[in-house]
Amino acid sequence: MSAARWAGPPQDAAEVLRRAKEIAPVLRERAPEIEANRTLPAEVVELLRGTGVFRMCFAREWGGPELTSVEQLEVVEALAYGDASAAWCGVIGANSGLLANFLYQSVVKDVYPSLDLVTAGVLAPAGRAERVPGGFRLSGRWSFGSGIKHSDWVTSGAFLFQDGEPWAEPGSPHAHDSRQFLVPRSAVEVVDDWDTTGLCGTGSCDYTMTDVFVPDEHTFTFWEVRGTPGPLAQPDSFMRALCGVPLGVARAALDHAREVATTRYDRMAGRSWADSWRVQTELASCEAEFNAAREGVYGAMRRQWAVLAAGGTLDDLTPTERAASPLAWLHAFRASRTVVTRLYDLLQTWSINRSSPMDRWLRDTAVMCQNLTAQDAVLESVGAYLLGRPPLFRISLGLDR
């Protein structure tokens, strides 16, 4: 299968989702190769590009399909049902369309002449940007640049300096400002250090830049929307669909375990696995945990989207409603890992061989739960917000007051 099998880019969410589901079996088949490669093979990148996942966040005014957050989540789940690393890189690469809402609109078409270009990078301000005429000189090292090797553009956070001293915009409430900097992939040096337990195929290597000039028009912040305001022109929009990866993996593991249970025979007990009380109750319990986690994500997302699509802001949500999204993201990661672990134990020795997808799913979910989205820092931030205290991570979690 190649991207050429599809006639042109998809025009709507239904077509993007259909294509994502169509390549899922191919991704499953190529998962061992993806993992061994430690980054996505070029053919897999092109398969993803053909689905439209990289363009799915672009607004219709730019010629994109402008999928809602719910629709994006469905696409990511479908890709993760095939392979977690491919889905992870798909949702990261789709950030291009979201970044377009914060870039100067006069440069969007220059930066993204094709809506299928991939943007990778690290939003955390790990770099240093020295103010110079017309822009900045950017240097630093950033960790966990998922998809960096096959990206076209790289966005990176950095603190601002002028004449070697911390610098802030005139009138800024901060003593030391940071920004995002968009540079061509060719300006980046990749450190080949991604050798991990799971999500091996994401190629989430460190990368460095030294004294790279970035013009002012290629810098942006999440404080200022420069495109058309809307539900996707929000700082937390970058976080919403990521939990589709663990959800897709957990769904794949549940279906795999059910298939195994219907084909295995317990010779010692003299009965089919499907007749085992232990198997029946464990599968049902895992289904219940998965369904609750998944509906928590979709319920919070639908409520948020309804408010924003009607012209409201996050401030129009109650504190409980606003806190529901980051809590649901975290729970989706953690519950999916729990479900996969329990199914791994349920299948016992049928899980332990490298040829079993359970082995990879166990490792993938273990690694993805080390992402900030699944960490206690989210609980701390949400708890602080609900108690009227400053959240640790307020912008990225949509908790800014």
Enumerate residues 6+ apart whose C-beta is below 8 A from 150: 39, 40, 42, 45, 89, 118, 203
Residue 128 Ramachandran class (φ > 0 left, ψ -120 to 50 alpha, else beta): beta
- pLDDT band (50, 70, 90) for residue 104: very high
pLDDT band for position 397 (50/70/90)? Answer: low
Backbone angles phi, psi at 113, to 5 degrees: -65, -25
For residue 175, the tally of other CB atoms under 10 A from its CB is: 8
Q: What is the pLDDT of residue 271?
A: 72
* Of 106, 120, 108, 50, the residue nearest 79 (C-alpha): 50
Output the pLDDT for position 171: 78
What pLDDT digit, counting tens, does each position of 49-98 carry? 999 999 999 999 999 999 999 999 999 999 999 999 999 999 999 999 99
* pLDDT tens-digit readout, 143-177: 999 999 999 999 999 999 999 999 998 877 778 99
User: Nearest CA to 156 among 195, 189, 134?
Assistant: 189
Report pLDDT for 122. 95
Would you place residue 128 in the very low, low, confident or very high pLDDT band (cuts 50, 70, 90)?
very high
DSSP state of 218: G
Q: Which residue in this structure is represented by tokens 């058309």? A: 228
Q: What is the DSSP string of 54-93?
A: GGTTS-GGGT-----HHHHHHHHHHHHHH-HHHHHHHHHH
Average pLDDT on 99-120 reads 96
Higher pLDDT, 401 or 190: 190
Per-residue pLDDT of 338-377, as tens digits, reads 999 999 999 998 888 888 999 999 999 999 999 999 999 9
pTM, full prediction: 0.95
Amino acid making up residue 260? V
Q: Is the pLDDT of residue 222 over 80?
A: yes
Range 106-133 average pLDDT: 96
- Residue 396 pLDDT level (bands cut at 50, 70, 90): low
Residue 2 has pLDDT above 60, yes or no: no
Band (pLDDT 50/70/90 cuts) for residue 329 is very high
Provide φ and ψ at 101, rounded to 5°. Answer: -75, -20
Nearest to 115 by CA among 64, 42, 61: 64
Local confidence band at 398 (pLDDT 50, 70, 90 cut-offs): low
pLDDT in tens, 289-299: 999 999 999 99
Q: How many CB atoms lie within 10 A of CB 149?
A: 24
Q: What is the pLDDT of residues 85-103, one digit of tens each?
A: 999 999 999 999 999 999 9
Average pLDDT over residues 187-193: 97
Mean pLDDT of 226-249: 95
Share of the chain above pLDDT 70, in %: 96
Does residue 13 register a pLDDT over 90?
Answer: yes
Helix H or strand E encompassing 191 = strand 189-191
Q: Whole-number mean pLDDT of the chain?
A: 94
Average pLDDT over residues 100-122: 96
